């Protein structure tokens, strides 16, 4: 158990929730339009996994990727400006909510066609192995994406060539309005991985520590060349599929049941328990003293006062991002052409005689 990171993870989860709620509000005001898929309820997934990522790892996500981008370190300003379609957005206003990219942070994009993240991950991982580097690719996807052909094609190739990929299924039990029992013959996604001889595990996606632990172990083994792994993280989205969806197909009791295990509340609770249980100390192994020290210092970090300060701090970041996005200029058509022709600027083809 890695409690050192707990407060950093908690902060990112708070930031994620505040960012997404602010985006929802801007959508209602008409400042953001188009498809807007939000993440509240699922924070422990992106935060737990990406806190286990190294700067050298690559990340690929879906259209529901603002939080992955935030946790990866893309400034909230640049993400919000992209949602507004503005010029200083991370993609200059050419990508939008569903297509965030950041080459310097190795964020290989948000993809809006279900099932596309698999082949991109395959290619990135192929390049890593080709160059004999100790890096990994983290590939996010939903429970709905596992019935797409690319899931099966890509798992096969990843396993066949032992590519360094962590497949992360964000199982929120819905593909838009279709519940998992109505879209999948086998509802436990991790079981599908055995068809391709890929080690897989199911983890509580509402518990950020459990997610983080599982991801860290998997990534260490993947980076050392042991081949791909798959994590199925059971989670839930509190909102509809997108802002255009009221989510009325889900029983209210279901939402309440998941909210009772809210990942942020859980993380706060974890960080506030005064002492670890004896069981925790024993299970931490020989390093239990370190664990205890970490834990105690964590507690100091995370008293009520710190928590309040943390909430204020993330609120400020979000408000700053909103003000920045509002004030930013729109891109012009020339910016679109520049982005489109980006590959021709430094073209070094063979020389032409004329």
Partner 1 sequence: MKEMLYWQALNQALDAEMAADETVFILGEDVGLFGGTYRVTEGLMAKYGEWRVRDTPISENSFTGLGIGAAMLGLRPVVEIMTLNFALLAMDALVNMAAKIPFMSGGQFSMPLTLRMPGGVAKQLGAQHSQRLESILMNVPGLRIVVPATPQDAYWQLRQAIRSNDPVVVLEHELLYFTQGRVDEGAMAPAIHQAVTRRSGEHLTCIAYSRMVQLALQAAETLAKENISMDVIDLRSLSPIDWDTCAHSLEKTHHCLIVEEDCRFAGAGAEIAATLQERCFFLLDAPIQRLGGLDLPTPFNRNLESASIPRTEDILTAARQLVNPG
Ligand X SMILES: Cc1ncc(C[n+]2csc(CCOP(=O)(O)OP(=O)(O)O)c2C)c(N)n1
Q: Which of 313, 330, 336, 337 is nearest to 82 (CA)?
A: 330
For the bound state, the minimum distance from the C-beta of residue 320 to Mg ion, rounded and expressed in Å, comes to: 32
Q: Is 157 in the site for partner 1 (CB under 8 A)?
A: yes
Q: What backbone phi and psi angles, to 5 degrees, belong to 154? A: -80, -35
Question: Contact region for Mg ion (CB under 5 A) — 138-146, 202-210, 218-226, 342-350?
Answer: 138-146
Q: Is 174 in the site for ligand X (CB under 6 A)?
A: yes
**In the structure encoding, which two tokens stand for residue 292, read together?**
């205890």
Q: Is 113 in the site for ligand X (CB under 6 A)?
A: yes
Figure out which of the listed residues 248, 253, 334, 354 binds partner 1, where binding follows CB under 8 A: 354
Q: What backbone phi and psi angles, to 5 degrees, belong to 204? A: -70, 110
Closer to Mg ion by CB, 89 or 142: give it.
142
Question: Contact region for Mg ion (CB under 5 A) — 59-67, 118-126, 137-145, 193-201?
Answer: 137-145
Q: Is 123 in the site for partner 1 (CB under 8 A)?
A: yes
Q: Is 64 in the site for ligand X (CB under 6 A)?
A: yes
Q: Is 102 in the site for partner 1 (CB under 8 A)?
A: yes
3-state secondary structure 85-139: CCCCCCCCCCCCCCCCCECCCCEEEEECCCCCHHHHHHHHHHHHHHCCCCCCEEE
Per CB under 8 A, contacts with partner 1 among 41-60 are: 58, 60
Interhelix angle 288-301/6-29, nearest 10 degrees: 40
For the bound state, the minimum distance from the C-beta of residue 133 to partner 1, rounded and expressed in Å, comes to: 10
Question: Contact region for Mg ion (CB under 5 A) — 13-21, 144-152, 187-195, 245-253?
Answer: 144-152
One-character DSSP codes across 73-88: T--HHHHHHHHTT-TT
Nearest-angstrom CA–CA distance, 188 and 331:
45
Q: What backbone phi and psi angles, to 5 degrees, belong to 62? A: -100, -165
For the bound state, the minimum distance from the C-beta of residue 110 to partner 1, rounded and expressed in Å, comes to: 9
Q: Which of 146, 139, 142 is nearest to 170 (CA)?
A: 142
For the bound state, the minimum distance from the C-beta of residue 77 to Mg ion, rounded and expressed in Å, comes to: 29
The residue sitting closest to Mg ion, measured at its beta carbon, is 142
Contact 121, 137 (CB under 8 A): yes
First-last CA distance in the chain: 66
Figure out which of the listed residues 129, 147, 306, 315 binds partner 1, where binding follows CB under 8 A: 129
* Matching residue, tokens 């609770």: 269
Per CB under 5 A, contacts with Mg ion among 155-194 are: 172, 174
Instruction: Give the one entry of partner 1, Mg ion, ligand X, none that residue 64 binds, where binding means its C-beta sits below a cut-off of 5 to 8 angstroms depending on kind.
Output: ligand X
Question: For residue 162, what are the β-bridge partners?
Answer: none
Q: Is 127 in the site for partner 1 (CB under 8 A)?
A: yes
Nearest-angstrom CA–CA distance, 35 and 22:
15
**Binding-site residue total for ligand X (CB under 6 A)?**
15
Length of the chain, please? 354
Q: Which of 40, 23, 22, 2 is nearest to 265 (CA)?
A: 40
Closer to ligand X by CB, 12 or 170: give it.
170
Nearest-angstrom CA–CA distance, 146 and 276:
38
Q: Is 110 in the site for ligand X (CB under 6 A)?
A: no
Question: Contact region for ligand X (CB under 6 A) — 107-115, 253-261, 300-308, 330-338?
Answer: 107-115
For the bound state, the minimum distance from the C-beta of residue 185 to Mg ion, rounded and expressed in Å, comes to: 16
Q: Which of 135, 161, 138, 125 is nearest to 56 (CA)?
A: 135
Instruction: Give the one entry of ligand X, partner 1, Mg ion, none that residue 348 binds, where binding means its C-beta sits below a cut-off of 5 to 8 angstroms depending on kind.
Output: partner 1
The residues binding ligand X (CB under 6 A) are 64, 112-115, 142-145, 170, 172, 174-176, 241
Q: Enumerate binding residues for partner 1 (CB under 8 A).
A: 58, 60, 89-95, 99, 101-103, 108-109, 111, 113, 116, 118-130, 149-150, 153-154, 156-157, 160-161, 336, 338-340, 342-344, 346-354
């Amino acid at each position: 158990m890695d409690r050192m990171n707990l407060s950093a993870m908690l902060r990112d989860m708070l930031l994620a929730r505040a960012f997404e709620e602010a985006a929802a509000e801007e959508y209602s005001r008409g400042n953001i339009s188009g498809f807007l898929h939000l993440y509240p309820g699922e924070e422990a997934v992106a935060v737990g996994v990406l806190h286990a990522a190294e700067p050298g790892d690559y990340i690929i996500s879906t259209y529901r990727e603002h939080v992955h981008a935030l946790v990866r370190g893309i400034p909230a300003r640049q993400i919000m400006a992209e949602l507004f379609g503005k010029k200083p957005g991370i993609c200059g206003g050419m990508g939008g909510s569903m297509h965030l990219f950041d080459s310097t942070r190795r964020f290989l994009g948000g993809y809006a066609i279900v099932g596309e993240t698999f082949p991109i991950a395959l290619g990135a991982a192929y390049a890593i192995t080709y160059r004999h580097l100790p890096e990994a690719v983290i590939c996010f996807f939903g429970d709905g994406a596992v019935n797409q052909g690319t899931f099966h094609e890509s798992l096969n190739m990843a396993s066949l060539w032992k590519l360094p990929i962590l497949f992360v299924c964000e199982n929120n039990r819905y593909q838009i309005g279709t519940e998992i029992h109505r879209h999948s013959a086998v509802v436990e996604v991790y079981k599908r991985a055995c068809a391709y001889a890929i080690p897989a595990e199911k983890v509580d996606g509402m518990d950020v520590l459990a997610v983080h632990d599982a991801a860290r172990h998997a990534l260490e083994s993947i980076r050392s060349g042991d081949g791909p792994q798959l994590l199925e993280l059971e989670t839930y989205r509190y909102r509809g599929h997108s802002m255009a969806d009221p989510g009325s197909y889900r029983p209210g009791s279901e939402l309440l049941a998941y909210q009772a295990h809210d990942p942020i509340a859980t993380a706060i609770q974890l960080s506030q328990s005064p002492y670890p249980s004896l069981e925790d100390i024993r299970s931490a192994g020989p390093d239990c003293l370190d664990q205890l020290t970490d834990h105690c210092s964590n507690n100091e970090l995370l008293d009520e006062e710190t928590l309040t300060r943390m909430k204020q701090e993330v609120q400020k970041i979000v408000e700053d991002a909103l003000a920045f996005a509002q004030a930013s200029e729109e891109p012009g058509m020339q910016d679109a052409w520049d982005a489109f022709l980006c590959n021709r600027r430094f073209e070094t083809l063979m020389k032409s005689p004329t």
